[in-house]
Structure formats: structure tokens, C-alpha cells
Amino acid sequence: MSENELIQQMAAAVAQHLQPAIPVQIDMWDVATIARVLKRSETQVRNRMICLPDFPKAIRLPVVGGGRGQPLFRASEVLEWAGKYQDRH
């Protein structure tokens, strides 16, 4: 097997394990993802950001037993919200 064929075979194997990116227009983020994207700690996001009145409202999908799942937020809304705080000068 040539080096080029080996590289192609390895690339194909890696590609099988990669998850396709979800477009930001339809993706939903949890607190950990918001923290990573906005470069904040999960604690800051949970205790200081998502409780702000202008932060996007959470989506809580139902779970077995009648409870509510962890809060999820539309990625596009979170990015739009963050963009409102960009310095304008």
C-alpha cells in the first residue's frame, strides 16, 4: 500500500468518527456550551447571565417522570444577545 493510499484510508477512518456540525440557526446549547463559547465559567453563566431579563428564554424538553430537562438555549439567540453588548465606539 502506498503512503498516499494509507493517508486516504486514515482520513476516511477519521471522517467516520466526526459528527457533522449542526448549523447555528437550529442548534441548541446547554450552559456548558454557552460558557465555552462566551469564554466564561459555567457558574458565571448559570448564576449571572441566564437570569438576566434580556437573556434568551430557556427551552426545557420534557423527560420521563414528568420532570423538565436541563435548560437549552437557541444558539442563534445567545449569539444575538451577546452581540448587543459589543462596544460601539
Q: Is residue 89 part of a domain?
A: yes
Q: Is residue 16 part of a domain?
A: no
Q: Is residue 84 part of a domain?
A: yes
Which amino acid belongs to residue 8?
Q
With cell 437570569, the residue in question is 51
pTM of the model: 0.76
CA gap 28, 33 in Å, rounded: 9
Q: Is residue 20 part of a domain?
A: no
Q: pLDDT tens-digit profile of 37-87?
A: 999 999 999 999 999 999 999 999 998 888 888 999 999 999 999 999 998
In this predicted structure, what is the pLDDT of residue 12? Answer: 84
In this predicted structure, what is the pLDDT of residue 38? Answer: 97
In this predicted structure, what is the pLDDT of residue 72? Answer: 98
What are the C-alpha distances in Å from 15 to residues 19, 20, 32? 8, 10, 25
Q: 3 pLDDT band (50/70/90 cuts)?
A: confident
The total domain count for the chain is 1
Q: Is residue 39 part of a domain?
A: yes
